[in-house]
Structure formats: structure tokens, C-alpha cells
Structure 1
Amino acid sequence: MTTYTVALPKGGVGKSTTAAELARELGRRGRRVLAIDLDQQGNFTTRLGVGRETEVEYVAADVLRGDAAPEDAAVPSAYAGVDVLAGTHDLIDVEQAPPADLVTSLRDYLPGMGKWDDVVVDTPPSVGGLTEAGLAAADVVVVPVESAVEAYDQIHRLERVIEGRIGRRVRPGLQIDWLVPTMHDSRRLLDREVVEQLEKRYPGKVTSPVSEAVAVKDAYTAKMPVTEYAPTSKVAADYAAVTRTILGGAS
């Protein structure tokens, strides 16, 4: 089992979109995938076609509190092979009054599960306990970053969390594995410069950029990954290239 955790302490950079594309691509490859949404906004959940009409007895917050097992709480997504632990507003309560084992809960539980081959975790735009829980469980850390100057600051914030408590005591050796430049427009000098600087700072860890496109928002409204909503679009091709890079020969 491989756990892919998508993280950055900033909203609106494409974390949920990237997580959905990873989960969907793993499902296409015949893998059994558990998608865990740790963001109370539930965008990852929505991207995978789980909405108000879906019958959900337990959610991600129940699992983190120890009130339900993932096997009982996960619901089928709209896509073959992908099950979802839904992210809801209940996660606010978990963040504010965390169980004692919040940070290590997923790390300790997930390896013992036999129902799924892989896990994809989407984290909130913060560096609190929920993000730490996602990072502590990670085998692969994926960081979507907007092609903007402030991207560097957000990456450094995440690195401080990884190198601090998580990397020293909870998940030794943890590091950022991939950076995904998002909302990219190659016609803008700044966008090109950001990618160049990322490639210098993190050689071999930067995927090809993902174009800025209205289809990304439209796909969310349609409760679909971009590659399902607009499969012939440039942004879909961009995401397909990103997932190929991150997953490599996984099958």
C-alpha cells in the first residue's frame, strides 16, 4: 500500500483537484483506492462525485475520533475502484478538540487494511493537526503550488512542519516528493520564472505545469475530475502528465 498525501498550507492552489486526479488515475489502473478528505470544505469528496444525495453513515471525522473504522465509513465514489472517506464540517470539531492520537491515527491504522491497495489524502489549507495526520501517514508527499511568488513561503511553511515534529519523531525521513506547478500560463514571465526557481531548488521533483483553465472550476461544479469532465482539453492532458510522473509505473 502506498499513501499519497497532497498538502500545502494555502487554499485555492489545486490540492483537491490534484488529489482527485491521482485517485482517479489509480482507479483506472485497476488499483483499489481509499480517498481520505481531511478538509472540512469537502472539495475532494465532491470532485469524486460524492454529494448530498449519497447515503453516508460515517465521515472522516468519525474515523479520526475512533468512532468508526474506515472499512465501515468509506462510501463508493462515482468512479470504479475509488472509495471515499467524506470530508465534512465535523472536521472542525476534530481540529479544535483533537483526540490524543490524532497525528498518528492514520499512520498506525492504514498499513493494516487489506481492502485497498493505495490511499490518497487531501489535507486542509493549514498546518494544524489534520494536516499533520495526513503527513504522518504519507509515503509520498505531493505539493501543488500556484505559479506565484508567495508559493515559496508556503512551501517553506510546509517544510518546517515536515522537518520538525513529523520528520523527527513521527515519520522519520519524510520529505516533499513532488511539486506540481498549477494555474500556470507560459505566456507570463513570472510563471516561467517560478517554475525555473522551483526546478533549481528541488531538482528532479517538479512535474510539468498544469495550465490555468476555466474547465477546472466547471469540473468541480459537475462533481468530476478534470480528466473526466473535459478529457480532450489541454488542462486534462496536463493533469494526465502529472499523474504519470508521480505514479510512474505503478499498476
Structure 2
Amino acid sequence: MTHKTRKTKGVRVIYTFALPKGGTGKTICAAEGVYYLSRLGRRVLAIDLDQQGNLSHRLGLTKDAEIKYGSAQVLTATADAADAAVPALSIPADVVPHVLVGTHELAAVESQPPADLVTTLRDHLPSVAGEYDDIVIDTPPSATGLALAGLAAADVVIAPVATATESYDQLERLDAILTVTLGKRINPGIRIGWVMPTRYDQRRILDREVVEAITEHYPGRVTVPIREAVTVKDAYTAALTISAYRPTAPVAVDYAAAFAQIMPEGNL
């Protein structure tokens, strides 16, 4: 898949992980994307737009980390992204990725949003264009302002979908958000770039049927399925990405294969 020309000069691609439903592994996929790009030697900025801060945690920035500014302050223009970005602590790479940390202060941004919340992030990112090669954005599992802000900035939207009917049904909703709410004026032409099936068990008939249905509806835009694994929880407990925690685990191998599809020019 070729990526459209980046509006933010100096940044190659902005990847936004989104689905208006929780429990699909969206944040896990975003963290693995940061790992994959960083291991390629790319300068990566990870932006956590979820007040739970799970992406930040998987990148080693736990609740004990001293954080002066986070993504909330960038969105409200009380801090610059260049000042707020802090090094990730959990990815072994020659080029350490940076993170705009997600904190509970994002709840206040959501409840009392600035008038330009949806476009704030998109308009702010040119200020860090010379510092990073790629940007990875994790959005909350909703269709509210913070999620829209992440999608408005995207070049490539990646939708992690658990292999369950209720998760698959949310793809149609995400499609509508992109085409109707954002695609006509704010981010012209934006669409779901890739669907990443997660929590997959090939022994379950439903899992296989969901993957078949996704593949039929989004031909050429579906990655290899990501297997369900206990390693996912163990890695979170250790405040690590899966691939840093256990790089030879089958689920880590799945993620490497999936991102090689999405980013073929960076194939390891």
C-alpha cells in the first residue's frame, strides 16, 4: 500500500490506531507499531490520547514516572509537543522513541474541549516535523473529540478488530466517521487503511468467519491475524511492549508480520 503525501513536511507517515470500541487490543497494536518502527531506526513520536494512559504504560512510562506535561497540555496549547515529549523507557532501540503521555487530565479536555479540539493536533504537529520520522497515535475507544483529533491528523488509519461480531460491527461506524465527519473537509480522502484482526484463535469457527468477512469487505487491507496470548497481559505487567518482553513469542511474530505488511518498505 502506498501512503499519501504527508501534509506535515518532514514527517513520513502519521499512523492512527482507532476503533470506537474497547477491548480490541488497539493500544497494544499501537505500542507494537512504535516498537517496530523504532527497531528500524526511525525517530518515532507516540501520542497517547487515552486518559487511561495504557500506551504510555506499555512504553515504560508508569504512574511513578515524573511527567510535567502530556498530550492534554499540548491539546490545550499550554505546552509545546517538543517540550512535552519524553523518552520511552521500554524499547531497546538505537533511536529511542518519544511519548506524549496520556493522563487523567485528558478527561477535562474531553468534558470542556477547546473550540478547535478536532484540528488542534493536526495543526500542531508541523512544529515537531523536523524531530521525527513517523508519528503513532493511540485514540480512546470512542467517537468523541479526542478520537476525532487523532483521526483528523492521520495519514493511515489502522483499525484493530477483535475477532468477535460486536467488534466487527464497529468498523462500519468508523467508516462513517471517516467519510462523513472528517473525510469531506477536515481530512479529505481519509479511510480505513488497514484492519488488524486481534485476539484470534484459529480453532474457533467464529474467529475464522470474522476474518473472512473482514477480508471480503476490505480486500488487500487486512493484516495477518494476531493470536490471543497470555504474553499480552504479562508484558503489560512488566510495562513493556510484547515484542520487547518476549520477541520470540508467537504473538510477537504475528505483530512483526502484520507491520511488515503495513510498512513493507521497512521490512526487517
Deviation at 1:53, TM superposition (A): 3.0
1:232 to 229, 248, 267: 248
Letter in 2 for 1:213: A
Pairing of 1:94-105 with structure 2 (within 5 A): 94-105=109-120
User: Gapped runs of 5+ residues in structure 2?
Assistant: 1-10
Q: Does 1:73 align with 2:84?
A: yes
1:187 to 168, 182, 203: 203
Name the stretch that deviates more: 99-108 or 59-68: 99-108
Map of 1:177 onto structure 2? 193
Q: Does 1:39 align with 2:50?
A: yes
Name the stretch that deviates more: 139-148 or 48-57: 48-57
Report the Cα distance in structure 1 between the residues aligned to 2:209 and 2:225, rounded to whole angstroms. 12
Deviation at 1:165, TM superposition (A): 1.9
Deviation at 1:105, TM superposition (A): 1.0
Q: Does 1:249 align with 2:265?
A: yes
Map of 1:200 onto structure 2? 216
Map of 1:89 onto structure 2? 104
Q: Does 1:217 align with 2:233?
A: yes
1:150 to 162, 166, 173: 166
User: Would you say the 8 A contact 2:24–2:167 is kept in 1?
Assistant: no
Normalised to the residue count of structure 2, the TM-score between the two structures is 0.91
Deviation at 1:92, TM superposition (A): 0.6
Q: Please provide the CA RMSD for this pair.
A: 1.1
Report the Cα distance in structure 2 between the residues aligned to 1:39 and 1:54, rounded to whole angstroms. 17
**Deviation readout 1:134-169 (Å, 9 max, x if unpaired):** 000000000000001112321111111111121111
Name the stretch that deviates more: 223-232 or 123-132: 223-232
Name the stretch that deviates more: 159-168 or 103-112: 103-112
Report the Cα distance in structure 2 between the residues aligned to 1:12 and 1:119, rounded to whole angstroms. 23
Normalised to the residue count of structure 1, the TM-score between the two structures is 0.97
Pairing of 1:122-161 with structure 2 (within 5 A): 122-161=138-177
Identity of aligned residues (%): 55
Deviation at 1:4, TM superposition (A): 0.3
Deviation at 1:197, TM superposition (A): 0.7
Map of 1:12 onto structure 2? 23
Report the Cα distance in structure 1 between the residues aligned to 2:17 and 2:79, rounded to whole angstroms. 23
Secondary structure (helix, strand or coil) at the match of 2:14 reads: strand
Map of 2:74 onto structure 1? 63
Secondary structure (helix, strand or coil) at the match of 2:113 reads: coil
Poorly superposed stretches of 4+, deviation over 4 Å: none
User: Would you say the 8 A contact 2:162–2:168 is kept in 1?
Assistant: no
**Deviation readout 1:184-239 (Å, 9 max, x if unpaired):** 00011110011011110000000000001010011111111111111111111111
Secondary structure (helix, strand or coil) at the match of 1:5 reads: strand
Letter in 2 for 1:124: P
Report the Cα distance in structure 2 between the residues aligned to 1:165 and 1:145, rounded to whole angstroms. 21
User: Gapped runs of 5+ residues in structure 1?
Assistant: none
Secondary structure (helix, strand or coil) at the match of 1:26 reads: helix
Letter in 2 for 1:13: T
Deviation at 1:112, TM superposition (A): 3.9
Q: How many residues align?
A: 251
Map of 2:125 onto structure 1? 110
Letter in 2 for 1:27: S
Secondary structure (helix, strand or coil) at the match of 2:173 reads: helix
Report the Cα distance in structure 2 between the residues aligned to 1:195 and 1:52, rounded to whole angstroms. 36
Report the Cα distance in structure 1 between the residues aligned to 2:65 and 2:164, rounded to whole angstroms. 37
